[in-house]
Amino acid sequence: MTKRSLVCIVDDNESVRESLPDLVQYGGYDVQTFASAEDFLASPAVEDAACLILDVGLPGMSGPELQKDLVRRGRSCPVVFITAQGERSLPARLVAAGAVACLLKPFADTVLLDAIHRACGRS
Amino acid sequence: MKSPLPEADGPEDLGPVGAALRDSERNSRLIVHNIPGLVSLLTANGDIEMVNRQVFQYFGRPLDELRQWATNDIIHPEDLPQVVQVFEHAIVSGTPYETVQRFKRADGVYRWFTNRGYPVRAADGQPTRWCVLLTDIDERKRAEDAVDKARSELAHVARVSTVNALTVSIAHEINQPLTGIVTNAGTCLRLLNADSPDLDGARDTARKMIRDANRAADVIARLRALFSKQDFSFELLNLSDVARDVIALASSDLRRDRIALQAELAEDLGLINGDRIQLQQVILNLLSNAQDAMSAAHERARSVRIKTELVGAGHVRLSVRDTGVGIDREHMDKLFTAFHTTKPGGTGIGLWISRSIVERHHGRLWGEPNDGPGATFTFSIPVPTASSA
């Protein structure tokens, strides 16, 4: 059996950290969750993540800041942003800046799995 | 145009007394016809007897038409009912009147005037005549109306932007548990629809859905609590007294956290018009924020200073200064938005409510980083002036 890709979820909201892992695991991935960008950067998962699901409005270092920081470290991996901020132009800007997708909460389960599949090169 | 004032005529030579009388009459006529205002003289029951030159020039109508002011269009139809009411009351009661109203100029344009009438009384006090002065205030009135309009538009914008900010905050807060519910429901269906359904997994996701739905309900309950406490009861207060009430409540709590409290309460503060309970809440909120900010600052001396002062003549000011973790200037504004919190377990509405309470007192609430460690939060409330008290 081949090793499953690791998807890391970084979101300060508990409802999100509790619900997303079941779905992502069901979709065929390993999952780890983090409450902040700093927690993620301090973990070994930085080296292993195949895809990041990243909240935009994290306290401390924001989602887009984390993405830039990883690029600077040469550790960039595909990012799917999620956000509860209703700003209309945000998804287009983040995708233009290199994100796989930016999903507005609440999003459909199929939409999230599609984005992860694309990020991990499955379709 | 023929002068409406009867020309003084009669014998040429009345002697020195007659000459003085004629000079006096000439002067009166000079005043009446050249005064910068529209003057008319009315009978005791309010009929127009005589008007000055400016009246004819402004209205461009003969005296007969001016006398019909209550039934033609020389007074703006919107103003007429009120003018008739005020005027009739004055004539019946014999007391002076004043109205602000529009009169139609000869070219058809309505302009704003003050219309003031004073009774001329006989020895027994009964009015025998009325002197009426119409003063053109059109430019001033339009400028005032423009200012009023701008002010009410500004108030509307402020209300709308508060509501918008609140809507964004609520949407943000509710969308989080909704994400949990939608995702859990999706996972639940997948687990049930599999060839060999995972019932334990499905039950687990259903339980998580219930928890998320309750979290959404909590957000609503918090908002409801917030908006039901909107009843204010205003009285004249000394802000130093209110601060002392709060210090009495909070001091044992502060001692337990080994925080030194320093009170600098001015005795000669002006009285403000305020709600004691609501202002206590604001001060308590600032104190408890200071306390929280210092619980994370281990290596420093913990002290909080609460100070009241009269600023200029117009405002009383209360500030709470701590030696806690402090706040970046750039994050200061965010602290006052609903549901924004930097504290674990914080609701993020304390400062937001505090600011709305202070604003209900026509005051301001703001925060600043200290030069040294910590931050200072201050609110100021205007002292009512004698005329508005």
Between B227 and A88, name the one with better pLDDT.
Answer: A88
Return the closest-CA partner of residue B290 out of B378, B197, B187.
Answer: B378
The beta-carbon neighbor of A105 closest among B168, B178, B201 is: B178
- pLDDT tens per residue, range B14-49: 677 788 888 888 888 888 888 889 999 999 999 999
Question: Smallest CA–CA separation between A74 and chain B, in Å?
Answer: 30
pTM metric for this prediction:
0.47
**Is residue A123 scored above 60 in pLDDT?**
no
Tallying the residues shown for chain A, one arrives at 123
Alpha carbon distances (Å) from B191 to A64, B87, B181: 33, 84, 15
pLDDT (mean) for A106-113: 93
Interchain CB distance below 8 Å, A84 and B191: no
pLDDT (mean) for B332-353: 68
The amino acid sitting at A28 is G
Question: Smallest CA–CA separation between B295 and chain A, in Å?
Answer: 20
A residues 16-35 lying closer than 8 A (beta carbon) to B: 16, 18-20, 22-23, 26
Interchain CB distance below 8 Å, A26 and B190: yes
Q: Is the reported ipTM for this assembly greater than 0.90?
A: no
* DSSP state, residue A80: E
The number of beta carbons lying within 10 Å of the beta carbon of residue B271 is: 15
- What's the rounded Cα separation, in Å, for the pair A73 and B191? 39
Of the pLDDT bands very low, low, confident and very high (cuts 50, 70, 90), residue B258 is confident
Containing H/E element for A25? helix A14-26
Interchain CB distance below 8 Å, A86 and B215: no
- When the pLDDT of each residue in chain B is averaged and rounded to a whole number, the result is 84
Q: Which of A39-43, A61-65, B226-230, B260-264 has the lowest mean pLDDT?
A: B226-230
**Is residue B84 scored above 60 in pLDDT?**
yes
B327-B333-B335 Cα angle (round to 5): 65
**Is residue B172 scored above 90 in pLDDT?**
no
What is the pLDDT, as a whole number, of residue B357? 85
Question: Which of A9, A11, A15 should be substituted to probe chain B, the one whose Cβ sees the most B Cβ atoms within 10 Å?
Answer: A15
What is the pLDDT, as a whole number, of residue B278? 81
Between B364 and B11, name the one with better pLDDT.
Answer: B364
Which stretch, A56-70, B47-61, B152-166, B270-284, has highest mean pLDDT? B47-61
Alpha carbon distances (Å) from A79 to A30, A69, A82, A121, B50: 16, 13, 10, 13, 89
B159-B161-B162 Cα angle (round to 5): 65
A chain contacts of residue B187, beta-carbon cutoff 8 Å: 19, 22-23, 26, 109
Containing H/E element for A16? helix A14-26
Does A111 lie at the interface with B, CB-CB under 8 angstroms? no
If you count residue pairs, one on A and one on B, with CB atoms under 8 Å apart, how many are there? 77
Ramachandran bin of B99, using left for φ above 0, alpha for ψ from -120 to 50, beta for the remaining angles: beta
Does A121 lie at the interface with B, CB-CB under 8 angstroms? no
A59, closest residue in chain B (CA to CA): B342
B chain contacts of residue A19, beta-carbon cutoff 8 Å: 179-181, 183-184, 187, 205, 208, 212
Question: Smallest CA–CA separation between B213 and chain A, in Å?
Answer: 10
B83-119 b/e (C-beta count within 10 Å ≥ 16 → b): beebbeebbeeeeebebebbbbbeeeebbbbbbbbbb
Question: Which of B164, B169, B175 should be substituted to probe chain A, the one whose Cβ sees the most A Cβ atoms within 10 Å?
Answer: B175
What is the pLDDT, as a whole number, of residue B3? 47
Question: Which of B167, B169, B183, B211 should be substituted to probe chain A, the one whose Cβ sees the most A Cβ atoms within 10 Å?
Answer: B183
A106, closest residue in chain B (CA to CA): B179
Return the closest-CA partner of residue B354 out of B380, B341, B336.
Answer: B336
Question: Smallest CA–CA separation between B83 and chain A, in Å?
Answer: 54
